[in-house]
Amino acid sequence: MGKWMREMVESRGRRTNEQTLVQTIVVLVRNSTWRCGKLEKSIVNHLYRRHQKFAKPEASVKDLMANLNITGEKRDECLDALHRLEKRNIVEIKALA
């Protein structure tokens, strides 16, 4: 489990989780979706499309979930997908302090 994920699990209360999500940035390292699931591909494609439009290939977790219409129970799946992408060195997750 990554450092940012541990912080989210250890934090108590929904408000603290929301604040942690706002302060977390996802950066695209490489555009590779080989052997990825549907959700992981949509995350990578979203970050890549931002990069194609001359923006930085990064987005906050909150903006990413809003743009992909992820709510409710899908939030946990999205966080797991981000963790798997980080493990495979496709994205880098930075927690801002």
pLDDT tens series, the chain, 97 aa: 566 555 555 544 555 555 566 689 999 999 999 999 999 999 999 999 999 988 888 999 989 999 999 988 899 999 999 999 999 999 999 988 6
Lookup result for tokens 């949509």: 42
The model's pTM is 0.77
**Do 12 and 57 form a contact (C-beta atoms < 8 A)?**
no
Q: Which of 74, 55, 81, 97 is nearest to 2 (CA)?
A: 81
